[in-house]
Amino acid sequence: MAADGGDGMTGEVAVLGAGMHPWGKWGHSFVEYGVTAAQAALADAGLDWRDIGSVVGADTVRGGYPGYVAGATFAKALGWQGARVTSVYAACASGAQAVNTARAQLLSGLADVVLVVGADAAPKGFFRPAGGDRQDDPDWLRFRVLGATNPTYFGLYARRRMAVHGDTPEDFAQVKVKNSAMGALNSHARYRKRVTAEEVAASAVVADPLRLLDICATSDGGAALVLSSMEFARRHGAPDPVRIRAVSTVTPRYPSTVLDLPDIATDSAVAVEPAAETFRASIARAAYEEAGIGPEDLSLAEVYDLSTALELQWYEDLGLCAEGEAAKLLREGATSHGGRIPVNVSGGLASFGEAVPAQAIAQVCELVRQLREEAGDRQVAGARVGITANQGLLGHGSAVIAVR
């Protein structure tokens, strides 16, 4: 459904509030992080918890039983008041799925105001499948059959970029340098220290060619949004709020001819022609089509930099440059603060680490701050349109476009 600039029936919804719990390793329950983020978002919106008609929680499967019913868990922690609840899970895309669910409720008239919350208390080290033998689970199989941890996957992807496009470890290091400079300015980031290329090169090799500082950490953290219909926003005294104009939650197309873990094999293309674009490129295209814009209209992007090499891949998948030209775009300074299309001015996962159910919501929080011109030293001048992008396990697309 294309948007035309603010009518509640166009597909747009208002962002009245955005809030976060700082990322780090705090040793507390994910519920505490989510409640802190929710209360911050409510305060930002100027609303009371009792004004909320629906809660959509992004699940964490590592938090025990409450994590699987995150909507009700957060509603209980905030104080039962009769709101609708929904819980969603899409791994790293959970936050975008939660935003999409909230938007659907608002556009259908099921609620006037929806609270979206995601939070996590992540384990130390890399993520691994939950216990038990599950031979029909591709994620379990890639660990047990291939021994392919997440850093192994990131390293293979980096190697592919080096072989196909000529990227270098020095290019990867510059992504970390760029993102750490922004994370140093972000009060919610876990790592608030600038990093040099020499420090990246001196850090331990984890999955060749990637070093420790090329790969994001696992973190605790939380993020929340208060979304409303455009009509409610006007009644509430917010005639020109940040608006979510598009959410892409597409899946891959058969046959898949590009190996992408956790799947450990590609499909045959003998009988069916492969799609003209990759899965990640289709995520962005669907968002652009719904929003009625193109990559040339963007002011900034927040992307899923699980590794420095994967950030470069997103430049191409978002259409910020042609295939194989991501490193060139980086070297030119186009994706740095002050460049043509700044990427990860929040500091990205390089500065935050992964708090899985919260990270796609946190990306939207950054867009909100930027589009409101509230980002301080990280502010992108004249920001009007932003996009988020990440990918959830087993083919969950995730992109959100916000405008002002």
Both 173 and 320 in one domain: the answer is yes
The 10s digit of each residue's pLDDT in 150-179 is: 899 899 999 999 999 999 999 999 999 999
Both 159 and 36 in one domain: the answer is no
Both 293 and 352 in one domain: the answer is yes
Distance from C-alpha of 187 to C-alpha of 207, rounded to nearest angstrom: 30
Instruction: With both helix axes pointing from N to C terminus, report the angle between 279-291 and 308-317 in degrees, rounded to the nearest 10.
Output: 50
The total number of structural domains in the chain stands at 2
pLDDT of residue 9: 42
Both 160 and 47 in one domain: the answer is no
Both 334 and 350 in one domain: the answer is yes
pLDDT of residue 336: 98
Both 263 and 380 in one domain: the answer is yes
CATH number of the domain within which 287 lies: 3.40.47.10
Q: Tokens in use for 177?
A: 């340098």
List of residues 6+ apart from 115 with CB closer than 8 A: 38, 41, 42, 52, 54, 55, 56, 74, 83, 224, 225, 226, 227
Residue 3 lies in a domain: no
Residue 209 lies in a domain: no
Distance from C-alpha of 337 to C-alpha of 3, rounded to nearest angstrom: 29
Residue 178: is it exposed, middle or buried by C-beta count within 10 angstroms (0-12/13-18/19+)? buried
The 10s digit of each residue's pLDDT in 183-203 is: 999 999 999 999 999 999 999
Both 179 and 267 in one domain: the answer is yes
Both 39 and 174 in one domain: the answer is no
**Strands 205-207 and 210-211, sheet pairing:** antiparallel
Buried b (16+ CB within 10 A) or exposed e, 340-379: ebbbbbbbbbbbbbbbbbbbbbbbbbbbbbbbbeebeebb
Both 95 and 224 in one domain: the answer is yes
Distance from C-alpha of 304 to C-alpha of 301, rounded to nearest angstrom: 10
Distance from C-alpha of 20 to C-alpha of 222, rounded to nearest angstrom: 6
Residue 289 lies in a domain: yes
The residue range of the domain holding 152 is 138-187+194-203+245-403
Residue 211 lies in a domain: no
Positions in the chain short of pLDDT 70: 1-10
Both 265 and 142 in one domain: the answer is yes
Residue 213 lies in a domain: no
pTM: 0.95
Residue 378 lies in a domain: yes
Residue 5 lies in a domain: no
Both 382 and 233 in one domain: the answer is no
- Cβ–Cβ < 8 Å for 157, 309: yes
pLDDT of residue 10: 65
Q: Tokens in use for 240?
A: 């020109």
Both 67 and 120 in one domain: the answer is yes
Residue 212 lies in a domain: no
